[in-house]
Structure 1
Amino acid sequence: MKIREIRATPVNIPLRAPYRFSYGSTGSLTKTVVELMTEDGVTGLGECADGDRAADVARMAERLIGYDLRDVGPAARACVHGMSYTPWDNVTAHRRVFAGIEMAMWDARARSEGVPLYRLLGGAVRQEIPLTEYFSYRLPGREDAGEASPTDVARYCARMIEDHDARAFEGKVGTVDLAEEVRMVAEVRAAIGARTLQLDANGAWTLPTARQAMKALMPSDIAWFEEPCETYEEMAALRQHFACSFSTHIVDLPKAARLGCPDAIVTNINELGGIRGTLEFVAACAAMGVGFRFHSGETGVASAAYLHLSAALDHVRGASQTLLRWYADDVIEGGPLVPKSGVLRVPDGPGLGVTLDPAALRRCHERYLAEGRFPAGASAPPGSAYGSTFRKQ
């Protein structure tokens, strides 16, 4: 079970229509797909969520060739500093990059043993993983006209119920005039009936603006509000006035427990240092009375890892986020995962239970080379080739 070779390939996953959120808009997502090959000929898959990390994966791989797949702890110590900060390096980046490789280590180990990943994580407490249906204003795409008005968004949500039996909805606010968003949310509520409705402002508002916005939006029966403001302290201040639950992507568990707000932390595997780190973090959330869910935006590789962790961890309750319905491509065989009736079943094949489609991987990589990465501001370096690889010589 020793590591022989590691390959990393940056890819762009296109969306059917660019969606708007408080940071602007995006029509694609850049990720790095990791392929880890063992000396026994088994391949495990992983993913770095934060853009093109191929060169970083190749550098880190130099330290990991020859490691046993089961030595996750020693491998982490070889790649990630033990402190949370150093002025000479980027600990956060190392943690995220190692997490993509570590995901592939777990996948390869489970494939070697011929079992689904959730078996290595303690077994499944659930087989169907609840997910939200996302909505937002979306700009016109090549194959999708998007939504440009409150009525358009409400009709989209109604169509998701009719076509896919969607059960819970989460939508972006903080993107246009507040009065228009209040109309949008009210029309969505009318379209979805008593189904769960959650909102996400991505920290767009100041505390006074958030208080005003929430006062106008809460009559639509909002169950969860994600990041109406950016800080924990601001959300705790809002808690005094509003009964809904709050969530955030910012990871600070001790502060959440101390302030009693937010109610849940919503993040990904990379941010927590890998699958082992996620197991430990979710256990700490359970002990400290803070909820946990996954957010979306990864390829089918990391999405499958989310499903296995959600299956194995009882504390991951409620619907995690997903943008899967908006994907126009993916790197896995069968294309993007398709939720139905508000859930996805955890894959039951060996490892993550998904398989790379070589043609799709190349297509998504070539799209990255042509378009550059998201967020914009950098593109592939001159001479960039398909996949960065490091192997035992």
Structure 2
Amino acid sequence: MPGIKITGLRATPVNIPLEKPMWWTGGHYPGTSKTIIEVETDQGIVGLGEAPSVDVVDSVRAMGERLIGADPLDIAGCESLCVPPWQIVQNTDDSSVVKAFGAIEIALWDLRGKVANEPLYRLLGGAVRKEIPFTEYFGFREGGEMSPEAVADYCIRMREEHGSTMFEGKLILGNPELEIDTVKTLREGLGREAMIRLDSNMQWSLPTAMRVFREIEPYNIRNYEDPVATFEEMAELRRHFTIPISTHVPDIRKAIALGAPDYIVTNFAVLGGISRAVRFIGACEAMGVGFWCYSGDAGIATAGYLHMSAAMPWISEPSQSLFRWQIGDVIEGGPFRQKNNVISVPEGPGLGVTLDRDALAYWHNHLIQNGPLDHFHDPAMPGRFRRLPLN
């Protein structure tokens, strides 16, 4: 479409609550807050993007001003209007500019697909798979599962009701024995074939992580995410145990230098958008570091995961999912829900999802009335950040 120009950008912060708060290292996890982006053009085509937080709203809006009049199909040109030289960005204390533009860049790819009338995965080279795997989530939840038996019963119910055999979760109450007991109960309840992955959000000291790994290694743990706080400690764990380790910290160089972690789990906006994510995943493949996507996003970012996982052979492991627990979304028909572990990649142009304006207004109003959802709150300690003992 010749001469298409950006005429405006809207950034709308929203809450995406969970049905029951989950416990994690930082405290109460009631859901997430996202920024929904609409890039408008003079041809009436609107591209949708999503930032993984609301701290970038002002940056996104400022970038939107810079982009007015720009060609949305010239993604490199748009980046040059919004992001300083990459080596400088990587060498400063504030990388929020990357996350802000990364969210806009997703919207530019959605626009590109709509202009071409092609789904995003075709623009990325075509699909190597159309059914995209995701894990179910488990954890200790307020008003829900708070014992090993209850967590196992929940997972068994997900298997019976939805055909789920892939599970990941947080068992974070600061008690290593409770985690060990829950892993044993899960394996006994789910049988040897089910996938079990764990995520402790860096809650353990290295000695405690060593003890936990020693106890759970016989139970066929597919992966353990961020069991300790540093790559050096992860490397020490890998010297002694065979359980693969993943992290949310996207540092390929350090992972290769130290031999751990084995996988990087992150969000495309955090990497700077779809284009940079393609290059990042290619680097992971070249260096033998696995990759998948993390959980808690609304339907726009999730659609990006679906298309990228369809087009990128290296994303072979299931990505994380909080879909079953999310009570709202901003897309028509959302949230996505997996059946028999998978979700079909959308076949519409671009990301293949449509913004639900009533839902967008509702969850934006929820944020205005309640504030962004606080991941670091402990109801037992009002006004204080949670501190788990480093066992």
Q: 2:181 aligns with which of 158, 183, 193?
A: 183
1:76 to 74, 79, 86: 79
Equivalent residue, structure 1, for 2:349: 350
Deviation digits for residues 208-252 of structure 1, max 9, x if unmatched? 111011112223221211111121111110111111111100111
Q: Residue 227 of structure 2 corresponds to which residue in structure 1?
A: 228
Distance 1:84 1:187 in 2: 48
Q: Is the 8 A contact 2:26 2:375 kept in 1?
A: no
8 Å CA contact 2:47–2:110 kept in 1: the answer is yes
Amino acid at match of 1:45: L
CA drift of 1:28 comes to 2.1
CA 178–376 in structure 1, closer or farther in 2 if over 3 Å, else same:
closer
1:290-329 to 2 correspondences below 5 Å = 290-329=289-328
Give the aligned residue type for 1:198. R
Q: Which moved more, 1:221-230 or 1:172-181?
A: 172-181
Note the C-alpha offset of 1:167: 1.9
Deviation at 1:202, TM superposition (A): 0.8
3-state DSSP of counterpart to 1:240: helix
Once the 2 structures are TM-superposed, how far is the Cα of residue 176 of structure 1 from its aligned partner?
A: 3.6
Q: CA deviation at 1:182?
A: 1.4
**How far apart, CA to CA, are the structure 1 residues paired with 2:90 and 2:47?**
34
Counterpart CA distance in 1 for 2:107 and 2:45 is 11
CA distance in 2, matches of 1:117, 1:87: 28
Task: State the one-letter code of the partner of 1:180.
Answer: L
- Alpha-carbon shift at residue 91 of structure 1 (Å): 4.3
Match of 1:163 in 2: 161
Change (3 A) 1:10 1:85: same
The structural deviation recorded for 1:179 is: 1.5
Residue identity opposite 1:162 in structure 2: E
Report matched runs for 1:1-393 at 5 Å: 1-85=4-88, 91-140=94-143, 146-193=144-191, 194-375=193-374
SS at match of 1:293: strand
Query: 1:132–1:87: structure 2 CA closer, same or farther, 3 Å change rule?
Result: closer
> How many angstroms apart in 2 are the aligned matches of 1:314 and 1:177?
38
Deviation at 1:70, TM superposition (A): 1.7
Aligned with 2:307: secondary structure?
Answer: helix
C-alpha displacement of 1:154? 0.6
How much does 1:22 deviate? Answer: 1.4
Question: Structure 1: where are the runs of 5+ without partners?
Answer: 141-145, 379-393
- 1:88 and 1:181 mapped to 2: Cα distance? 38
Distance 1:88 1:308 in 2: 31
SS at match of 2:95: helix
Structure 2 gap segments, 5+ residues each: 378-391
Give 1:389's aligned residue.
none
Specify the code of the residue in structure 2 equivalent to 1:108.
Answer: L
Deviation at 1:34, TM superposition (A): 0.2
Counterpart AA for 1:219? P
Instruction: Supply the AA of the counterpart residue of 1:136.
Output: G
The one-character-per-residue Cα deviations of 1:68-93 (angstroms, maximum 9, x if unpaired) are 12211121122112144579976411
Instruction: Work out the CA distance in 1 between the residues paired with 2:163 and 2:321.
Output: 15
Task: After superposing the two structures, state which structure 1 stretch, 151-160 or 250-259, moved more.
Answer: 250-259
Tell me, in whole angstroms, the C-alpha distance in 2 between the residues paired with 1:8 and 1:195.
40
3-state SS, counterpart of residue 12 of structure 2: strand
Which secondary structure does the structure 1 equivalent of 2:216 belong to?
helix
Task: Give the deviation of 1:26 after TM superposition.
Answer: 1.4
Number of residues paired by the alignment? 373
Q: Which secondary structure state, in structure 1, belongs to the residue aligned with residue 240 of structure 2?
A: coil
Q: 1:33 to 1:90 in 2, by over 3 A?
A: farther
Q: Is the 8 A contact 2:124 2:311 kept in 1?
A: yes
Contact kept, 8 Å, 1:257 with 1:288, in 2: the verdict is yes
Q: Provide the C-alpha distance between the structure 1 equivalents of 2:359 and 2:70, rounded to a whole number of angstroms.
A: 30
Moved more, 92-101 or 170-179: 170-179
Give the conservation status (yes or no) of the 8 Å contact 1:85–1:91.
Answer: no
CA distance in structure 2 between the aligned counterparts of 1:204 and 1:88, rounded to whole angstroms: 28
- Which stretch has the larger CA shift, 349-358 or 51-60? 51-60
| Superposition RMSD in Å | 1.8
- The corresponding residue for 2:383 is none
Superposition deviation, residue 191 in structure 1: 1.7
Given that 2:99 and 2:269 are in contact with CA atoms closer than 8 Å, whether structure 1 keeps it comes out as: yes
The runs of 4+ residues in structure 1 deviating greater than 4 Å are 83-91
Q: Using structure 1 for the length normalisation, give the TM-score.
A: 0.91
Identity %: 45
Q: Deviations over 1:96-131 (max 9, x none)?
A: 000111111110110111110111111111101111
CA 1:377–1:236: 2 relative to 1, 3 Å: closer
